[in-house]
Amino acid sequence: MRSTMMTLVWLFAAAFAFGCDDGTTDTEPPPEEARGDLVEVATEAGDFTTLLEAAEAAGLVDTLANGGPFTLFAPTDDAFAALPEGALEDLLADTDALTRVLQYHLVAGELTAGEVVVRASLDTVAGEALVVDAESDPVRIGTASIVSADILADNGVIHVIDSVLMPPMDEEPPAPEMDIVDTAVDAGTFGTLVAAVQAAGLEDTLRGEGPFTVFAPTDDAFAALPEGTVETLLMEENRDMLRDILLYHVVPGAVNAAAVTMAQQLETALGVDVEVAIDGETVTIGGAAIVATDIIATNGIIHVIDAVILPPEEEPEPDIVDTAIAAGTFETLVAAVQAAGLEETLRGEGPFTVFAPTDDAFDALPEGTVATLLMEENRDMLRDILLFHVVPGLFDAEAVLAAAALETALGIEVTVDAGTVTIGGAGIVTTDIMASNGIIHVIDAVILPPDDEPEADIVDTAIAAGTFETLVAAVQAADLVDTLRGEGTFTVFAPNDDAFDALPAGTVDMLLMPENIGMLTDILLYHVVPGAFDAAAVTASAQLETALGVTAPIDGASIDGANIIATDIMASNGIIHVIDAVIMPPGDIVDVAIEAGTFETLVAAVQAADLVETLRGEGPFTVFAPTDEAFAALPEGTVERLLQPENIDELRGILLLHVVPGTYFAADVVEAGALETAAGAMIDVQVGETVAVGGSTVMGTDIRARNGVIHVIDTVILPGD
């Protein structure tokens, strides 16, 4: 219920003169614009403080501010002050009595002075009439004189009166003896309503404790429905529909006529609000006029209405198909769904998560592909492709990106890459488009399901391809056939025959010799990565750890400098990617230093210090390697002295200052700040325009070795530096 106080203030707000000094009454309101709701106007007027306090005490402020329109006969503060001593205090202490008194000053509808004076009486919201005496000077309403009129507000009009009106205090009406159902039966004008209540199984409910407020259509109201409507509603199969309609006429609680008038809407037992409106002196609910009020029953109140009111139809939320149609960017997808016979499925209960390619995604397929797929003879193929875009269940964007793979309605998993925000290699460009039976995510490409599970293992797949004869021969010579036929999974970067042919003459023959099988095995294992990495996963990586235990760098579509020229050749135990060159694993740290040609003094020192075997070991090690020029910059005779057998301990101490256990690539070195060397001493890392380690400037980085990494420095690090 909206507060009376708010309504009162609103009514006061637009004040116009009612009556003149010569005793005449203006019947046309002045053209002044309304200045707010009744509460705001009354507050601004400043002469209705007591009235506003009373309205607030009665809980009527919100009604006066937001309800209406109303006509308010507003006593001034002097009018309240003129009440007998203690009367106002008694009223403020008795909310029910106070509410009735205030409602006795309120008439539904907006009646200007000219409309008031032509009436003999006015029906108030309290239910009692006020007599109008237009012959008196000034005009009287009930026992009060109207001293100012036509104060307009946005939701009504205020007429100022000089005394407080007191409603007649009738004796308490006799207590009702019948419940709502029996009261309706006894009235004799609700035969159809009673029959409907019984047919809908609501009789016991409306005989229950309640209380209920029933807006009861008469027999004439039901008869005014289109021919056959009542008979149709009373059929057993329409029981739910009838029940909903009847519950729309029932409001939980006892809401009398005054409370109805002051409401803008009421929540029905159906759970749906019904609108209350005032048109002149007519109050309507759901568009039906209330023609009789406050028929009291033991468990509620009946108000009579002149029409059957129908609950609003809920606008159904579109399903996945309709949502796609409405978007306007999935015309090809919708046509494909219809051609594949999947429309009814995707309109079903679901829920489904659909990864929906746009029209542009379909247009990007090879010319003629869409037309071919839409042919009747290709219906099964089209159906499989579409089902590969559907995941049973409801997966919002967060849930999708949290998954490594999702099982599609085709029964085959599709991979998800949260880093690149892709699914099956297609970019996810828009997410979380909700439908009544699922959710749509927009993707920028059509994703194709993989061919049936391959039966051939990696070795047989390579043999069948016919372009990997040298690779297969090498795998056999290295005794790796059983390994690559095993359960796996493996990712093989497979050099084709042309790649082997590009090696220096005699290299392949040399590698296939029994004495070189160890070297051949290392080379082949450098082409194998444990696990299944498809093209998307490879290109998203910076490096992959090979079966040799050495990482191979990835740069876009290349691995360790070899171009990846074909991808995702599936085998039963892994994936083959074709590369255009044989990639050679790095040697150990000593071999890499020897091959570089710029570390001759360092290699000689490592040999003299008896550290060769150590630096060829498993490691891993990070070596900060001084160049020959760095050694040459030492004081004359220093290198020669250090290489003397008697100085081996000093030399070992210096060399171990250049070795850090573990693998530290350039980024790791910069982040470390300081590193503990194999000599047990710490060396600082300084980062500026250049990076310095132990006072030596780093000139080259990340030279990979099988058992570690080498960084080039420009001076020899000495103890105490």
How would DSSP label each residue in 582-618?
PPPPP--HHHHHHHHSS-HHHHHHHHHTT-HHHHTSS
168 in any annotated domain: no
Q: How confident is the model at residue 644 (pLDDT cuts 50, 70, 90)?
A: very high
Tell whether 293 and 426 lie within a shared domain: no
> Cα-flanking dihedrals φ and ψ of residue 646, to 5°?
-70, -15
d(C-alpha 22, C-alpha 37), whole Å = 31
22 in any annotated domain: yes
CATH number (domain holding residue 683): 2.30.180.10
Structure tokens at 521: 């095995």
| End residue of a domain, out of 551, 579, 607 | 579
| Listed range (263-267, 408-412, 599-603) with the worst mean pLDDT | 263-267
Tell whether 151 and 9 lie within a shared domain: yes
Residue range 489-511: mean pLDDT, rounded: 95
d(C-alpha 52, C-alpha 39), whole Å = 8
Tell whether 408 and 480 lie within a shared domain: no
Q: b vs e for 47-66, b when ≥16 Cβ sit within 10 Å of the residue's Cβ? A: bbebbbebbbbbbbbbbbbb
428 in any annotated domain: yes
Residue range 422-448: mean pLDDT, rounded: 94
209 in any annotated domain: yes
pLDDT value, residue 14:
29
Tell whether 301 and 341 lie within a shared domain: no
- Model confidence pLDDT, tens digit, residues 308-324: 999 987 666 899 999 99
pLDDT value, residue 454:
56
169 in any annotated domain: no
Tell whether 16 and 145 lie within a shared domain: yes
Angle between helices 469-477 and 458-465 (to 10 degrees): 140
720 in any annotated domain: no
| End residue of a domain, out of 561, 579, 597 | 579
How many C-beta neighbours within 10 Å does residue 642 have? Answer: 21
**Quick check: 385 and 373 in contact, CB under 8 A?**
yes
User: What percent of the chain lies above the pLDDT cut of 90?
Assistant: 61
Residue range 97-105: mean pLDDT, rounded: 90
Residue 28 predicted with pLDDT over 50: no
How many C-beta neighbours within 10 Å does residue 692 have? Answer: 17
79 in any annotated domain: yes
Residue 561 predicted with pLDDT over 60: yes
Q: b vs e for 120-136, b when ≥16 Cβ sit within 10 Å of the residue's Cβ? A: eebbbbbbbbbebeeee
Q: How confident is the model at residue 10 (pLDDT cuts 50, 70, 90)?
A: very low
Tell whether 681 and 611 lie within a shared domain: yes
pLDDT value, residue 697:
96
- Model confidence pLDDT, tens digit, residues 622-634: 999 999 999 999 9
> Cα-flanking dihedrals φ and ψ of residue 291, to 5°?
-105, -15
| End residue of a domain, out of 383, 416, 443 | 443
Total domains in the fold of the chain: 5
Q: How confident is the model at residue 18 (pLDDT cuts 50, 70, 90)?
A: very low
Give the helix/strand (H/E) hosting 327.
helix 320-327
**In which domain, by residue range, is 54 found?**
4-161
**Strands of the sheet with 426-435, listed across from one edge:** 390-392, 352-357, 438-443, 426-435, 422-423, 413-417, 405-407
Residue 114 predicted with pLDDT over 50: yes
Residue 196 predicted with pLDDT over 60: yes
Q: How confident is the model at residue 4 (pLDDT cuts 50, 70, 90)?
A: very low
Structure tokens at 623: 């070596």
Residue range 291-318: mean pLDDT, rounded: 89
Tell whether 572 and 705 lie within a shared domain: no
Tell whether 328 and 405 lie within a shared domain: yes
pLDDT value, residue 11:
30
d(C-alpha 430, C-alpha 356), whole Å = 10
pLDDT value, residue 5:
29
Q: Which candidate, 80, 76, 72, places its Cα nearest to that of 14?
A: 72
Residue range 479-486: mean pLDDT, rounded: 93
Tell whether 475 and 540 lie within a shared domain: yes
pLDDT value, residue 173:
59
Residue range 348-370: mean pLDDT, rounded: 92
398 in any annotated domain: yes
Q: How confident is the model at residue 121 (pLDDT cuts 50, 70, 90)?
A: confident
Tell whether 30 and 149 lie within a shared domain: yes
Mean predicted lDDT score pLDDT of the chain:
88
The number of angstroms, rounded, from the C-alpha of 24 to the middle of its chain's C-alpha atoms is 67
d(C-alpha 660, C-alpha 674), whole Å = 11
Tell whether 141 and 245 lie within a shared domain: no
User: 3-class DSSP state for residue 701?
Assistant: strand
Tell whether 436 and 501 lie within a shared domain: no
- Model confidence pLDDT, tens digit, residues 150-169: 888 888 889 999 999 988 86
Q: How confident is the model at residue 20 (pLDDT cuts 50, 70, 90)?
A: very low
